[in-house]
């Protein structure tokens, strides 16, 4: 970490569109956020990843001016979230954890109202609503009350509402929580399209695959603290190496196989007796898999599976958050 020299700091923030510096939020005795810092360059999709209650929504609420930090500052496009809230709100679009659309109104009415509140004229609001409905494939359902929409359509409309004001920064708080996997993937496709238009996106999620699929960079947050940051591949690299996975045909031979591979990897294999399989941490380019194959072959052990797996973000996540190990 570089020294906190003010002049360097202002230089470094030149192309950052979101910049949170040492933000802490206390709710009474509860420290929801402790000294969290976040810098997102313009045009990037940043995933804010963490378990339930980690402080993701709190950080998002500070950045979207819904919550004043106890200490620290946050800037969006150079505007201070506490002192220039209105300027910040005019360039952000927020879609929350639950679809904040009005069930009693139609999809079109929902979007037109949000458009008017973005200070668009009536005709502009109408045109923008039409455009957004089209982009999110909701044109056909536009004039039906939202209560007749499916869960996926409702989320899409909620996402649409955050787009009506043509925001420079889109803030999505767990946009796919509670959706079934098929609809989640459908929503990802919409999000990917948005990103190609250069919108900066800050996305919170508890799903690793979601962050992996969408984010250019990921910030891991746990118990109110930022615990790691980087591209998905850099984070995977962080725990280093890969896993050697093998299963023997004859379950009686798994112990012998474990003894053989342990000598290759200098690590302790984790054995699953029921499945006659094991996995062991190895360095990425150690040639461990070739050596394992040779050793097993000369010992006459028949294998049903032998593979080298790069670590999933799940493993990174579990290693770095204190919940699991």
Partner 1 sequence: MIGFFNDMKTLTRRNLLRLIRTPEVLIFSTIQPVLFVILFDSVFGGSISPLGFDSYTDFLIPGIMVQTAMFASINTGIGVAEDMEKGAIDRFRSLPISRLAILFGRTNADSVRTLAVSIVVVLTGLLFGLRLTENLGSILLGVVLSVLFANSIQWAFVLMALLVRSLEGVQAVAFLPTFPLVFAASTFAPVENMPGWLQVFAEYQPVTTTVDSVRGLFFGSEVLEASGGSLATSITLTVMWIVVIFAVFASLSVWRFSKN
Residue 58 is a binding residue for partner 1 (CB under 8 A) = no
Which of 33, 40, 59, 99 binds partner 1 (CB under 8 A)? It is 99
* 96 contacts partner 1 (rule: CB under 8 A): yes
Map the footprint of partner 1 across residues 161-190, applying CB under 8 A: 161, 165
Examine residue 116 and tell whether it contacts partner 1 (CB under 8 A): yes
Options 97, 130, 223, 291; binder of partner 1; rule CB under 8 A: 97
71 binds partner 1 (CB under 8 A): no
Q: Is 2 exposed, middle or buried (0-12, 13-18, 19+ CB in 10 A)?
A: exposed
Q: By CB under 8 A, name the one of 24, 51, 100, 286 that touches partner 1.
A: 100
Contact between 86 and partner 1 by CB under 8 A: the answer reads yes
Residue 26 binding partner 1, by CB under 8 A: no
CB of 161 to partner 1, least distance (A): 7
- Least distance (Å) between residue 157 CB and partner 1: 12
Is 73 a binding residue for partner 1 by CB under 8 A? The answer is no
From the list 13-21, 85-93, 176-184, 255-263, the region that binds partner 1 by CB under 8 A is 85-93
Look at residues 23, 9, 164, 37 and name the one whose alpha carbon lies nearest to residue 82: 23
Q: Contacting partner 1 (CB under 8 A), which of 109, 216, 256, 315? A: 109
119 binds partner 1 (CB under 8 A): yes
Query: Residue 173's CB: how many other CB atoms inside 10 A?
Result: 21
Window 207-246: contact mask with partner 1 (x via CB under 8 A): ----------------------------------------
Q: Give the span between the Cα atoms of 205 and 82, in whole angstroms.
A: 25
Query: Contact residues for partner 1 (CB under 8 A)?
Result: 64-68, 86-87, 89-90, 92, 94, 96-100, 102, 104-105, 109, 113-114, 116-119, 145, 161, 165
């Amino acid at each position: 970490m570089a020294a906190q020299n003010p002049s360097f700091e202002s230089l470094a923030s030149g192309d950052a569109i979101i910049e949170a510096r040492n933000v802490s939020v206390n709710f009474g005795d509860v420290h929801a956020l402790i000294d969290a810092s976040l810098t997102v360059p313009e045009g990037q999709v940043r995933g804010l990843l963490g378990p339930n209650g980690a402080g993701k929504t709190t950080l998002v609420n500070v950045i979207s001016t819904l919550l004043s930090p106890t200490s620290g500052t946050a800037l969006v496009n150079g505007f201070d979230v506490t002192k220039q809230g209105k300027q910040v709100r005019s360039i952000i679009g927020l879609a929350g954890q639950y679809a904040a659309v009005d069930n009693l109104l139609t999809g079109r009415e929902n979007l037109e109202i949000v458009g008017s509140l973005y200070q668009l004229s009536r005709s502009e609001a109408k045109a923008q609503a039409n455009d957004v409905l089209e982009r999110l494939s909701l044109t056909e359902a536009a004039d039906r009350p939202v209560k007749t929409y499916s869960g996926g359509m409702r989320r899409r409309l909620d996402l649409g509402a955050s787009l009506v004001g043509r925001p420079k920064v889109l803030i999505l708080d767990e946009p796919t929580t509670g959706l079934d996997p098929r609809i989640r993937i459908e929503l990802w496709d919409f999000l990917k399209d948005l990103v190609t238009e250069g919108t900066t996106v800050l996305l919170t999620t508890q799903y690793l695959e979601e962050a992996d699929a969408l984010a250019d960079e990921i910030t891991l947050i746990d118990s109110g603290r930022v615990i790691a940051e980087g591209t998905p591949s850099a984070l995977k690299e962080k725990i280093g190496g890969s896993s050697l996975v093998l299963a023997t045909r004859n379950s009686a031979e798994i112990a012998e196989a474990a003894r053989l591979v342990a000598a290759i990897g200098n690590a302790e294999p984790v054995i699953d007796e029921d499945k006659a399989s094991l996995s062991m941490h190895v360095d990425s380019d150690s040639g461990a898999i070739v050596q394992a194959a040779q050793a097993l072959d000369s010992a006459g052990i028949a294998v049903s599976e032998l593979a080298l797996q790069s670590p999933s973000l799940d493993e990174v996540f579990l290693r770095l958050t204190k919940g699991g190990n």
